[in-house]
Structure 1
Amino acid sequence: MFIIKAIVGLFHWIRRNFRTLLKFKIVFAIILLVILAAGKTYQRWDDDPERGAIAVTNGANGENYSTPVYLDQGWSEADSLWFYNTTQGSGLLPYDFYLALEQVDSTELLRANNNIDKFRYLPQKPTFFNPDGLAVGFVKETYQGNDYMGYTCAACHTGQVNYKGKAIRIDGGPAMADMVGFLTAMEKSLEQTQTDPQKRERFVKAVLALKNNYSSEEQILKDLKKWGDTIELYNTVNHSHLDYGYARLDAFGRIYNRVLEHMINKAQLKLALMQITTPEDKRMLNEEQVDAILEGINETIIGDVQFALIMERLGSTKGKLPGLNQRDQLRVREVIFNEPNAPVSYPFLWDITHSDYVQWNALAANAGVGPLGRNTGEVIGVFGILDWKAQESRFSLSALITGEKAKKHTIDFKSSIDLTNLGRIESHLNSLQSPVWPQEILGKVDRETAKRGELVYNEYCASCHQVIERDNWDRLVVANMSSIDVVGTDPTMATNSVAYTGYAGNFESVYQETDVGSVVVQKRAPVVQVLTAATKGAVATPDADKWVVRRVADWAYMLGKSFFDNEIRPSVKSGNYKPDTTANPYQSLLSYKARSLNGIWATAPYLHNGSVPNLWTLLLPVEERPTEFCVGNREFDPVNVGFNADGCDKTDPKDKRRFIVEPLGNHNTGHEYGTGKDGKEKLTEQERWDLIEYIKTL
């Protein structure tokens, strides 16, 4: 109520003093312009001509490459560096810890360039906004007076291709990162730092020497356990039988799990624990054990720290605790969370602000404040610090739009999510263009062959894959949807988005709008409903790090800007898909989108789950596509158009570069257009080469 009264009071003051203010309108306008100009100037201070990129020798997989070059994508040096280094509110680990943390069984730092390169992140040298030389998309985030290392959009959406020792950075391109491998290595490093006396001593000295957020060994060791437990919890909850490898991540599955972790309440968690059975159909836990596990746990919101404590208690034999083995602990996970077993390629970002729908299955409409909600959900997944807690029911905008206003308790969605920067990043992407095939590096395009290929494209591809002008400011990219039954590609990601369920916590029994009417969120509900409500609550909550007037002003401005500046209007999805119905209000999500193919040459491997190594094999029938190939190499194949798919040790099951098209989640089926299976004449070999040559020009 204080905020509302303050706004009303400010309005009345302006009305009373309007004439006086009018006399000074020129002065105010000049001051505003100076502030805006200063902000833009400051944003462009980081203009390193190489955009922070560095050459790599003796890199992972034997790669060596020169300092990467950039293509003309509509961005200057400062534009790229601003994108790399602008925080969105992600806090993976205390910043001091990240700077000091060593690799397992080594004194080398986890963040060392050779180690970063091993996980296929992109090493950088220090620049103005990145004084510690963190990798592309790794950034310092400050929240509630403390510094953290977190991800920016660039970590997953900046690519690189190499050719004969030359490297090309692709802004907005899909990363080749192995995030799971990196987080697993971080977990092991944190664990060994706690147990190895010498490593622990070096770590404490290094953190204290920074003279930043920590001033005592006791404080450091306390947080070392806390953050070690948090990373271990995240990795445990998101463990999958399917190895993602390089260039892929089940982002949806992980976002879903993070929301469920912060939404389930104590009563629902007790219900879940009491329902777990052994293979012999007996209760795995009795009520006395469950009560011991949940002793002292918050009633409404649990979150990272308390969930880590719960997982620790599950494995403990102290008192009445059950002492579950790892297999039984996974049974607990399966009742509360869902296995993220549908990794997909990191999508490319050019044209995203010009698109009607985004995400592989068009989950996110891009109209109105849709982009702000989409990006907020993304930060929830990539380690936004979620200080969500229950409060006595009172009026708040978040309670109103999430439907909680009649509840005994409502959720305070305080977090590190930076809504202002999310809006700025989205606006920044407006000027990003797709990369043009670099003929001086990858070879000239045969124009006559490409002309023939254009005819093939128009007959076989254009009905789904719209051709656009990459630099047309008014371009509108339409997502043409195809039902999973029609396109035939691996259905796992789409089906998980609809079928996965979880406990709704405080959202139980609230109403939620869908395209076919209101639904009631039940105790155990589709996770898409829980995520939608949580995202709305986060968007409706101003930045906790700003003083009250600026907090409300920034929030109102960003919400208004997101809505009124967005040229994308609500529209019906295009394509051949099953529409939503009252019986299945999310049925349209059981489909995948086809978007414009401009710049597609720089985005291998192909299909939504990265199961096809290059464009040539994508044009073949499924039975002729490779069932195993190598990922993780950046060396480009300009003939077949994709990454070099050789070089793995196919006899070594531990070689993470191996991609095998089994099990489900990795299937390379579907999209057999031009193979004679689509009701059209089968393309000849020459027609396939013609088509590939034309696609290079898009």
Structure 2
Amino acid sequence: MDGEHARQPLPVGFAILKGGIDPATGAFYEDQIGLTCAACHTGHLEYKNVSIRFDGGPAMVNLGEVERVIGLSIGYTLILPWRFERFANRLESIEGRIDRKKLRSDLELALQKIKAQKTASDGLLAGQGVADLDEGFGRLDALNRIGNQVFYTSFLDPVTGELSDPLLKGNFARNDAPVSFPPIWDTPYFLWAQYDASVLNELVRNSGEALGVSAKINMRAPAPGRPLFESSIHLSDIARFEELLRGTDPFSSAEASGRKFNGLVAPRWKDAQDRFKGDPAWSIDETLVEKGRDLYRSHCFECHRGPVNDPAFDAKWPEDSFWKPENPDRSAKGEKNWVEIGGRRYFNVAQLPVNVIGTDHQQSNVLTTRRVHLPEALGLNPIDDLNKAWGCGLSADRAADPLFVLALMDVVGKTIDQWNVANNSSEQAKQQMWGPRKNCQNPRVYLGARVSRNGKDKDVLALEPQYRARPLDGVWATAPYLHNGSVPTLKDMLLPQGRRPSSFCVGSRKFDPVNVGLVTKARANDAGAAGLTDFNVSLLGNSNRGHSFEGNETDIRRLPPGVIGPELSDTDRRALLEYLKTL
């Protein structure tokens, strides 16, 4: 095509799903536009009219609003003749001659589907007497959305929109655990991914997310050429993307001092600072950095471990280096810093029980309380299936319906297996794509326990939800803070929990390099700009408590839940903040 008719690039985070055969219906579907990883994991900050974008950071996007606006846009295009003509003319300038009658029909069908889905979901929530929580900008209740897509929407009749089993209506859950989009640099090397340390295997993690953003899957009934769990997921591409993010093995260097991540890496403060030379807001006080390094070792090291890229830290505390296979404090507990599985090393991210760290517990509820009904035709028994396939060691569960997270692991595993069957994958190809890690639950969360009933001891499934910490490289570029995005700046994170902002606006990309994070309101009762999310910490799922430095107790063994260290002085807070900028 010439320049005038060249295809326009899609916005970051969108890609074309090529047309094919729907595995659930056998009908052909045309090319479609869908979301990619970049939609949620592309960071962007603005300062003095300079815009900086960085791969792998948390996006400042409101996907719920994107869905609403798309529906409204289609509706307005159908209602307003001039708008339809403008849209059709634009398509013709790109594609050539089009069938305008078919275009209108396709838009009407799309709008009908959107309306039907909205009406159905509203009715289900009304029947439960609940409503969705406001995810707003920069957050998504990804786990519950994935659950609704896989265990409710996938069972709907594609023609009538009805369910064959009324019990499946109970599989639909409100969005009540929104969390910030996590940064994904370093993630391929984490032993456990997600805020709640819920996913061990990377292929399962990425494939489950693909299903959550509406990849097509046959969950209804097998048919000739359409077996159960056949999907439109491009698993070979997903595995390739993960390897690109991973980069080469950092342990290929013999010396710890030469090790570093070289796949997707965190943005550096210095790189942004170079854009604003001479601006004191971006300057770093090296004297305070040295003091901050000592404070980090005293107050942050236990959970976030040694910094990824600080030679000065490693020189001062060589045995505590991030890159050491073992650190003395972990060895004393029988833990390793890095765990080797199948010839690969994975960083053993620290985990803390939710009630100890004291941050908002809504996310942890998804894994430990949500259950789903599974039709018998699927032949799924998650605990038995996972134990048989992977030796997960799960104890029996007394409930009739399985825990959502175990059911999802089972479905994703069978979807991957079916893809390998359909593509006649060799054993070597299967192993390479799966990687060396199992598709098993976190043993710290899903515990085996013994109980006595009627004079007999039985093994049962017990639950202790955990949140995991991650290394803090690039933390300066990941505001707002805590897993649910309830603290606007790093400075606020270092304040006692009772002194953190009770409300602030989210949605602007304007960056505050002094306090490190979002530009906040001058007064708590000020209104945010039109269109932004007014984040109120008193609402369900929005707690900004926990992970607090307060009081005078210095013995970490005697700190109350939610408190991780004594209150810092203003000077100490500034010093620690200066150091965190350098990571």
The alignment's TM-score, normalised by the length of structure 2, stands at 0.74
Q: Supply the distance in 1 between the matched residues of 2:446 and 2:419 (Cα, whole angstroms).
A: 35
Distance 1:455 1:468, change over 3 A: closer
Match among 356, 371, 382 for residue 213 of structure 2: 382
Tell me the equivalent position of 1:625. 500
Distance 1:611 1:652, change over 3 A: closer
Q: Supply the distance in 1 between the matched residues of 2:212 and 2:431 (Cα, whole angstroms).
A: 25
Q: Supply the distance in 1 between the matched residues of 2:38 and 2:84 (Cα, whole angstroms).
A: 32
Does the 8 A contact of 2:185 with 2:266 survive in 1?
yes
Tell me the equivalent position of 2:414. 537
| 1:464 to 2:303 alignment | yes
Match among 534, 540, 556 for residue 658 of structure 1: 534
Pairing of 1:346-361 with structure 2 (within 5 A): 346-361=181-196
Does the 8 A contact of 1:504 with 1:523 survive in 2?
no
Does the 8 A contact of 1:609 with 1:666 survive in 2?
yes
Tell me the equivalent position of 1:371. 202
SS at match of 1:630: strand
Tell me the equivalent position of 2:250. none
Q: Supply the distance in 2 between the matched residues of 1:693 and 1:305 (Cα, whole angstroms).
A: 59
CA RMSD of aligned residues (A): 3.7
Match among 262, 268, 275 for residue 436 of structure 1: 268
Task: Give, as a single letter, the amino acid of the residue that structure 2 aligns with 1:435.
Answer: P
SS at match of 1:463: helix
| 1:225 to 2:225 alignment | no
| Alpha-carbon offset, residue 696 of structure 1 | 1.1
Q: Supply the distance in 1 between the matched residues of 2:446 and 2:372 (Cα, whole angstroms).
A: 24
Task: Give, as a single letter, the amino acid of the residue that structure 1 aligns with 2:269.
Answer: W
Task: Give, as a single letter, the amino acid of the residue that structure 1 aligns with 2:407.
Answer: V
Distance 1:190 1:386, change over 3 A: farther
Distance 1:413 1:208, change over 3 A: farther
Does the 8 A contact of 1:140 with 1:150 survive in 2?
yes
Q: Supply the distance in 1 between the matched residues of 2:428 and 2:19 (Cα, whole angstroms).
A: 21
Distance 1:338 1:579, change over 3 A: closer
Tell me the equivalent position of 2:547. 671
Pairing of 1:446-485 with structure 2 (within 5 A): 446-470=285-309, 476-485=346-355
| Alpha-carbon offset, residue 465 of structure 1 | 0.4
Does the 8 A contact of 1:509 with 1:520 survive in 2?
no
SS at match of 1:503: coil
Q: Supply the distance in 2 between the matched residues of 1:305 and 1:502 (Cα, whole angstroms).
A: 24
Pairing of 1:376-415 with structure 2 (within 5 A): 376-391=207-222, 412-415=228-231
Tell me the equivalent position of 2:233. 417
Distance 1:594 1:584, change over 3 A: farther
SS at match of 2:46: strand
SS at match of 2:222: strand
Distance 1:509 1:133, change over 3 A: closer
Match among 424, 435, 441 for residue 552 of structure 1: 424
Q: Supply the distance in 2 between the matched residues of 1:305 and 1:451 (Cα, whole angstroms).
A: 65
| Alpha-carbon offset, residue 475 of structure 1 | 7.5
SS at match of 1:686: helix
SS at match of 1:161: strand
Task: Give, as a single letter, the amino acid of the residue that structure 2 aligns with 1:227.
Answer: A
Does the 8 A contact of 1:620 with 1:675 survive in 2?
no
| Alpha-carbon offset, residue 357 of structure 1 | 0.5
Does the 8 A contact of 1:420 with 1:558 survive in 2?
no
| 1:616 to 2:491 alignment | yes
Distance 1:571 1:193, change over 3 A: closer
Task: Give, as a single letter, the amino acid of the residue that structure 2 aligns with 1:359.
Answer: Q
Q: Supply the distance in 2 between the matched residues of 1:387 and 1:234 (Cα, whole angstroms).
A: 19
Q: Supply the distance in 2 between the matched residues of 1:358 and 1:533 (Cα, whole angstroms).
A: 18
Aligned residues: 484
Does the 8 A contact of 1:460 with 1:674 survive in 2?
no
Pairing of 1:265-344 with structure 2 (within 5 A): 301-302=155-156, 306-307=160-161, 335-344=170-179
Task: Give, as a single letter, the amino acid of the residue that structure 2 aligns with 1:412.
Answer: L
Distance 1:569 1:150, change over 3 A: closer
Distance 1:687 1:260, change over 3 A: same
Match among 220, 226, 242 for residue 133 of structure 2: 242
Task: Give, as a single letter, the amino acid of the residue that structure 1 aligns with 2:573.
Answer: R
| Alpha-carbon offset, residue 446 of structure 1 | 1.6
Does the 8 A contact of 1:157 with 1:349 survive in 2?
yes
Deviations 1:649-687 (A, max 9, x none): 944797533111121101111111355476354321111
Task: Give, as a single letter, the amino acid of the residue that structure 2 aligns with 1:581.
Answer: G
Pairing of 1:116-135 with structure 2 (within 5 A): 131-135=7-11
Distance 1:164 1:676, change over 3 A: farther
Does the 8 A contact of 1:661 with 1:668 survive in 2?
yes
Q: Supply the distance in 2 between the matched residues of 1:153 and 1:423 (Cα, whole angstroms).
A: 13
| Alpha-carbon offset, residue 388 of structure 1 | 4.3
| Alpha-carbon offset, residue 529 of structure 1 | 2.8
| 1:636 to 2:508 alignment | no
SS at match of 2:221: strand
Q: Supply the distance in 1 between the matched residues of 2:460 and 2:530 (Cα, whole angstroms).
A: 41
Name stretches of at least 5 consecutive residues in structure 2 with no aligned partner. Answer: 21-28, 126-130, 247-262, 311-321, 324-343, 450-458, 560-564
Does the 8 A contact of 2:228 with 2:378 survive in 1?
no
Q: Supply the distance in 2 between the matched residues of 1:563 and 1:310 (Cα, whole angstroms).
A: 33
Distance 1:570 1:496, change over 3 A: closer
Tell me the equivalent position of 1:596. 471
Distance 1:651 1:468, change over 3 A: closer
SS at match of 2:244: helix
Distance 1:194 1:585, change over 3 A: farther
Tell me the equivalent position of 1:34. none
Deviations 1:615-673 (A, max 9, x none): 11111122111100111121211121112123899447975331111211011111113
SS at match of 1:169: strand
Tell me the equivalent position of 1:162. 46
| 1:581 to 2:448 alignment | yes
Q: Percent identity?
A: 30
Distance 1:508 1:522, change over 3 A: farther
SS at match of 2:301: coil
| 1:252 to 2:143 alignment | yes
Does the 8 A contact of 1:249 with 1:343 survive in 2?
yes
| Alpha-carbon offset, residue 497 of structure 1 | 2.3
Distance 1:683 1:597, change over 3 A: same
Greater relative contact order, per chain length (Cα 8 Å cut-off, separation 6+) = 2
| Alpha-carbon offset, residue 188 of structure 1 | 1.6
SS at match of 1:542: helix
Tell me the equivalent position of 1:692. 577
The alignment's TM-score, normalised by the length of structure 1, stands at 0.62
Task: Give, as a single letter, the amino acid of the residue that structure 1 aligns with 2:133.
Answer: L
Does the 8 A contact of 2:168 with 2:373 survive in 1?
no
Tell me the equivalent position of 2:128. none
Q: Supply the distance in 1 between the matched residues of 2:15 and 2:89 (Cα, whole angstroms).
A: 23
Task: Give, as a single letter, the amino acid of the residue that structure 2 aligns with 1:449.
Answer: L
Name stretches of at least 5 consecutive residues in structure 1 with no aligned partner. Answer: 1-125, 264-300, 312-330, 397-409
Tell me the equivalent position of 2:74. 190
Does the 8 A contact of 1:357 with 1:478 survive in 2?
yes
Match among 345, 359, 363 for residue 493 of structure 1: 363
Tell me the equivalent position of 1:153. 37
| Alpha-carbon offset, residue 389 of structure 1 | 4.2
